[in-house]
Every structure is written in C-alpha cells, then in structure tokens.
C-alpha cells in the first residue's frame, strides 16, 4: 500500500463517459488500498474555449479576470469525477486550488507554485478518502485565483506528489507513454520504457507537449518518480528516471519539433563591440526570450544578425527593434513566421562525435535547408522552413535508427 498522485489530462476526462472510465480506474487502484490524490485537467477543448471568450471581450485582458475564467474548466471536472467516484462507492471529495490551499506567486496566467498545504488531505487519507484536485489553478498572494500556464495540470500533479511525499506521480494521457517523437506525426515512433529527467526536460522545452516543462523541472528538483501512461489502455508507461537507472543508453533518445518560434533577421548592423548588447538588451528588457542566434561574418564592417523569438512575441519584438533603431543602427529587419525548430536529444551525445553530421546529412538528402543551428551538451536544434517539419522529423527518426 502506498501513496500515489494520479493525473488525468483533457482527453481522458473529455466527456461524462470518460470521466466514469477514469472513476473505474481510480477505484481499481483505491481497492488495492493505496492513498490517492487525483488531479484533473479541464475537458479537452474547454480551456481553449474559455481563453477565446476572454480575448473576444478584451484582447489585452486583465490577467486576474483571465485566471478567474480559465480556471473554471477544472472546477467542473473535479466535481464530476468526485461524483462519479461516489457513485462507485468510493469516498471522494473535490478540492479547488484555493481550498487546499495551493499557493502561488502573483504572476497571473503563468504562476509558480510556492507551497501546498497537505495536512488536511493526509488526515482524510486515513478515512480512505480520495482527494480529487482541480489542476492548473492556485491561490495568489492577492487572494485571487491564479493559473499555472497552459498544460499546467502536470505541474499541479508533480508538485502535489512532492508535497505529499508520494511514491509516484502517474500522468495518464491519450498516448501510452513518451515516444521517440510525437506519435501523431511519425507512425513508427517507439515508446520508451525509460527516459532521463534531463532528456525529458529537453524534449518538453523543445516542443514535446506530453509534459509541461515546469512539471519536469519540479520532478527533477524534488526527485519525484513520474510515469506517463494511457488512461485508455492497460500497458505500462514510460518512467522518468535518473541516468544511472538506464543500462543501455541510446545516442539519441528522441526528436522534438516546434512551430512556436519566429525568425528575425536584422540587416547590416555594425560589426563592433556593443552591438549585440544594444540589440538584445532592449528585447530582454521587454521580457522577450531570444532563443537561437547566428551572426554572419562581416565583409564590409557590417553584419546580419539572425535569431528566433516566441511567435507570440514577434510583433512586439519588431516594435522594440524599431524603437531602438537609432541606437542599433541597422538598415532593416526581416521577419519570418514560417519556420520550425527541429531538435535531436540524447544524453549519449555527451561523449560521442558525429551526431550533428548525421543530422545535417539526413536533412540535406531531403533537400531541406538549415537556416540556424544551436547546440547544447545533450541536444542539437536546427531551424528550417515550416513546410518541411514532418519530412525532417521522419528523416531524422530513420537516420538515428529510431523507427520501430
């Protein structure tokens, strides 16, 4: 008998029948005698609908009211799952973020969890009560509802597992684990039995939306054992583990892609000290996260700088550059939203050469032009034209021998 946190994502609680299916699954685990906290997302599509409504009324909405609206999807599923469990004879009670309370900082729309009060939940475990917790939401320092950023229920679950000192956090979703790449675009993607925290963090950061980035950071920091598995099948999932738990490490464990970035090229800036600072300083001041950067060689004392920013920040970035034109001294700016970043990830890369050249060769064989490259110890990313996304991911999946 142990203490577990289970999390069910939007598709898993997408309608009443699915909520009843989740309730049966939870009951089966509860029948084994485990202490359970169950975190739920809103029904799939629900949060998008709520976000849409806030934008319809006010494009630049007040973030506190945005949170009041978008947090409501999880209130519905938490109550419904508690009811479905009660119907099966399980002692269950729902909890909203403020009722626990799960306290966060005051960054509405992207709040960070600061503390979780678990004493009451634990007392009720002694009465065999299941806590059904609304994911994605918390209570800010201003005593108002906050939300944790899109996909945030994963983070609610991992944080709760850490606070409860749970044996494991099981993330139930619509795929039966973490795959070598998104199984929706590569049919031959392979399920991984295990993946290291570091690789999972890179995968999540580089576009694999199967776990929210912050949930992986949190799991890593608090050493929470996380499993990703399907709420529709009974197969074992993927365990996120420490590197030494993986006996035979592949060189490349996965491929991720994202279309969430845009490319900006600043043409003809002077090639002298201080220019990069003059360019990237104002972007940083505007809280714009610059990711990949290349600076070309200078022939005539001027150079071009190319970099990527989140697509949602593209317009703002162009405004910032325009506002600092006199200081930066560039001739013009070109923006391209039609790009994708493709990344190969693997801790095995640390001590092996030739991973990058395999990538470049595979892409060139498909006639795909690489626009920007960036690397870290365990990943290589390239920026390409968006229309080649699927082709590139499939070619790389084959090139690294990942096809099942």
Q: Which residues lie near Mg ion (CB under 5 A)? A: 9, 151
Least distance to ligand ASP from the beta carbon of 45, Å? 9
Going by their DSSP bridges, the two strands 339-345 and 254-258 should be labelled as: antiparallel
Least distance to ligand ASP from the beta carbon of 92, Å? 21
Least distance to Mg ion from the beta carbon of 151, Å? 4
Least distance to ligand ADP from the beta carbon of 41, Å? 6
Nearer to ligand ADP among residue 110 and residue 294 (C-beta) = 110
- Is 140 a residue that touches ligand ADP (CB under 6 A)? no
Of ligand ADP, ligand ASP, Mg ion, none, which one sits near residue 179, judging by CB under 5 to 8 A according to partner kind? Answer: ligand ADP
Contacts (CB under 6 A) with ligand ADP, residues 163-202: 173-175, 178-179, 181-184
Residue whose CB is nearest to ligand ADP in the complex, by number: 9
Least distance to ligand ADP from the beta carbon of 252, Å? 13
Q: Where does this chain touch ligand ASP (CB under 6 A) — which range of 144-152, 190-198, 199-207, 313-321?
A: 144-152
Contacts (CB under 6 A) with ligand ADP, residues 9-28: 9-12
Nearer to Mg ion among residue 9 and residue 140 (C-beta) = 9
Which member of 64, 112, 144, 209 binds ligand ADP (CB under 6 A)?
209
Place of tokens 């209570």: 139
- Residues 378 and 380: their CA atoms lie apart, in Å, by 7
Least distance to ligand ASP from the beta carbon of 156, Å? 8
Of Mg ion, ligand ADP, ligand ASP, none, which one sits near residue 150, judging by CB under 5 to 8 A according to partner kind? Answer: ligand ASP
Residue 192 to residues 73, 237, 292: CA-CA distances in angstroms? 31, 8, 28
- Residues 363 and 396: their CA atoms lie apart, in Å, by 8
Which member of 6, 30, 36, 47 binds ligand ASP (CB under 6 A)?
47
Q: Which two tokens stand for residue 329?
A: 């001294």
Give CA angle at 220 (216, 222), nearest 5°.
115
Of ligand ASP, ligand ADP, Mg ion, none, which one sits near residue 152, judging by CB under 5 to 8 A according to partner kind? Answer: ligand ASP
Of ligand ASP, ligand ADP, Mg ion, none, which one sits near residue 174, judging by CB under 5 to 8 A according to partner kind? Answer: ligand ADP
Q: Which residues are at the interface with ligand ASP (CB under 6 A)?
A: 9-10, 41-42, 47, 73, 135-136, 150-154
Q: Which residues are at the interface with ligand ADP (CB under 6 A)?
A: 9-12, 41, 151, 173-175, 178-179, 181-184, 203, 208-210, 254
């Amino acid at each position: 008998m142990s203490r577990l946190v289970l999390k069910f994502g939007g598709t898993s609680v997408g309608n009443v029948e699915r909520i009843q299916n989740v309730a049966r699954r939870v009951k089966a685990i509860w029948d084994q005698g485990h202490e359970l906290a169950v975190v739920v997302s809103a029904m799939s599509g629900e949060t998008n609908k709520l976000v849409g409504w806030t934008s319809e009324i006010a494009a630049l909405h007040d973030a506190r009211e945005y949170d009041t609206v978008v947090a409501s999807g999880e209130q519905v599923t938490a109550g419904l799952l508690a009811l479905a469990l009660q119907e099966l004879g399980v002692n269950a009670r729902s909890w909203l973020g403020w009722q626990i309370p799960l306290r966060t900082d005051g960054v509405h729309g992207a709040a960070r969890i600061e503390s979780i009060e678990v004493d009451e939940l634990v007392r009720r475990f002694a009465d065999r009560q299941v806590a059904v917790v609304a994911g994605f939401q918390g209570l800010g320092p201003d005593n108002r509802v906050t939300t944790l950023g899109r996909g945030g229920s994963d983070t609610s679950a991992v944080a709760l597992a850490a606070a409860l000192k749970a044996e494991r956090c099981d993330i139930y979703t619509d795929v039966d684990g973490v795959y070598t790449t998104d199984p929706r675009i590569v049919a031959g993607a392979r399920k991984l039995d295990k993946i290291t925290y570091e690789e999972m963090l890179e995968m999540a950061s580089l576009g694999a939306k199967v776990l929210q980035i912050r949930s992986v950071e949190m799991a890593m920091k608090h050493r929470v054992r996380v499993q990703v598995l399907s709420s529709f099948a009974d197969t074992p999932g993927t365990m996120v583990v420490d590197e030494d738990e993986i006996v035979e490490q592949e060189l490349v464990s996965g491929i991720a892609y994202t279309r969430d970035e845009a490319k900006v090229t600043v043409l003809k800036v002077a090639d002298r000290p201080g220019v990069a600072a003059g360019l990237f300083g104002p972007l940083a001041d505007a809280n714009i996260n610059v990711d990949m950067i290349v600076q070309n060689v200078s022939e005539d004392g001027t150079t071009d700088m190319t970099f990527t920013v989140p697509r949602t920040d593209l317009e703002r970035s162009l405004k910032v550059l325009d506002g600092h034109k006199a200081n930066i001294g560039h001739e013009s700016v070109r923006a391209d939203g039609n790009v994708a970043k493709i990344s190969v990830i693997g801790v095995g890369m640390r001590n092996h050469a030739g991973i990058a050249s395999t990538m470049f060769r595979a892409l060139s064989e498909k006639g795909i032009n690489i626009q920007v490259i960036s690397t870290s110890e365990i990943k290589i990313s390239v920026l390409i034209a968006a229309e080649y996304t699927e082709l590139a991911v499939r070619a790389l999946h084959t090139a690294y021998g990942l096809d099942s």
